[in-house]
Amino acid sequence: MEPVSLAFAYATITGLLADFISRRGQQDVLEVKDFTEYLRTHGHNEIVELIQRNTETTIGIKASLSEGRSELLARFSAIENLLAALSAGQGPLGELALTLLPKSTLSKQAVEILVAFERAGAGSALLNHTGEGVHLLFLDGTGTERFEPSEPRFFEADLDELVGNDLCSLSFNKNGAKLFQLTRRGARIARSVTDHA
């Protein structure tokens, strides 16, 4: 199966699984057979065949259902937020994510920060306040030494947003200045954006 087909199958199954779970009561035990019956009832016979042909898919669905309704709904919410964040800067698809999930979509500047980390090959940066303004000073890497914000007014809010979405982590140096570290998730998003720019 081609990567686009795999992504579509994953998105379809995940979306249908979320719909199935959201329709179930708190007391219901969630089983694969109930999910496949739900799919048949709603005309998704091709998805049922895909699930039945692929043992790993069946095992993955069974493991997901065993987590319970509230845990799965929380995971779906996290996936939704990450998908919206990943869509930032992806042309019309990014704009669509912004209209559907405005609170989950990263700002343009937040994406620029991630891309700057990636282009600098940096893992950490110091938030540096000078007489000229504020910027990120990369402490490692081989590329650009600093990132100048395009929207200084929202710079620290965008950095907080990256930390809140687990795309960067935050610590402090001995002087109390903020240190930001790029996470693996942040690096993946930065690579995705730069690969499709």
CATH number for the domain including 114?
Answer: 1.10.10.10
- How do beta strands 146-147 and 133-138 pair? antiparallel
Query: Within a domain: residue 27?
Result: yes
Q: Mind listing the pLDDT tens digit for each residue in 93-103? A: 666 665 665 55
Among the three residues 36, 70, 98, which one is the final residue of a domain in this structure?
A: 98
Pull the structure tokens for residue 24. Answer: 């179930």
Q: How confident is the model at residue 171 (pLDDT cuts 50, 70, 90)?
A: very high
162 and 88 assigned to the same domain: no
pTM over 0.75: no
Query: Within a domain: residue 165?
Result: yes
Query: Is the pLDDT at 84 greater than 80, yes or no?
Result: no
Query: Is the pLDDT at 108 greater than 50, yes or no?
Result: yes
pLDDT of residue 96: 67
Instruction: Please name the residue ranges forming H helices in the chain.
Output: 3-22, 32-41, 45-53, 55-66, 69-87, 92-100, 108-120, 155-164, 184-195
Pull the structure tokens for residue 48. Answer: 């049922």
Q: Could you tell me the residue range of the domain that residue 173 belongs to?
A: 108-195
pLDDT of residue 34: 87
Secondary structure (3-state) at 167:
coil
Please count the structural domains in the chain: 2
